[in-house]
Amino acid sequence: MKKILIAAILCFSTSIIFAQQEDTFKGFKLGLTAHPTFGYIKSDIQGTEGDGLRAGFTYGLLGDFYFAQNYAFSTALKLTTINGQTKANSTNEQKVYKLQYIEIPATVKLCTSENNGLKFFGQFGLGNGFNVRAKQDIKGLSSTPIQEDIDIYKTTSFYRASLIIGAGAEFTVGEKTKLAGGLTFDNGFTDIQSGAGTLKNSYLGLNLAVYF
């Protein structure tokens, strides 16, 4: 699995280098992002349910490859923390999952024409996450800590797949500089653990980015 992760990162880097060598008419844009996420867990394990939102964070590089004036293939290389919590109905014991992934999404970006430096966009595609860290807190009644920062990496799935849908706006602030903001819903559809039953984590991202 680590070989797959290395290969994916190399592919992303190669795409950026290739795009920079293309005519600027192709419309390649490189940007930086750093923004909060709000994660939660869906459970189909009997007696265990998801227990609200927990904040996380993501940051990294963004790349948009425009193949037409208003259409682009959009990807990224991000480090994303997806936090979530479950509760056992019989004991009220809470488990907090703190999972960190290297994400390389593959989405299509559909943009409106620019008007007074402003344009809107929508995105849809597939998320690819590779687990690099997994910790867990266990809490008892009244959220009293029992154990904290337990390493659960060996019992957590390495690969996470998801469907991504989002929307936002870009505003031109310079000759080549653009600011972007919006919302992204990243809906996980693979099990985050190895074992009986299924837990799936998803998050809502409050996107902030700057393109150069």
Q: Distance between CA atoms of 156 and 158, rounded to whole angstroms? A: 6
Rounded to two decimals, the pTM is 0.85
Residues in the chain: 212
Q: What average pLDDT does range 21-25 have in this prediction?
A: 43
Token pair for 186: 């990243």
Range(s) of the domain holding residue 160: 2-211
Domain tally for the chain?
A: 1
Q: How far is CA 147 from CA 21, 83, 139, 200, in A?
A: 52, 16, 7, 22
Q: Which residue has the higher pLDDT, 195 or 122?
A: 122
What is the chain's mean pLDDT, rounded? 88
Q: Which of 64 and 197 is assigned the larger pLDDT?
A: 64
Mean pLDDT of 172-195: 92
pLDDT of residue 2: 52
Question: Does residue 75 contact residue 12 with C-beta atoms inside 8 Å?
Answer: yes
- Of 86, 1, 9, nearest to 43 by C-alpha is 86
CATH number of domain containing 92: 2.40.160.20
Reported confidence tier of residue 26, pLDDT bands at 50, 70, 90: low
**In the chain, what's the furthest Cα-to-Cα distance?**
62
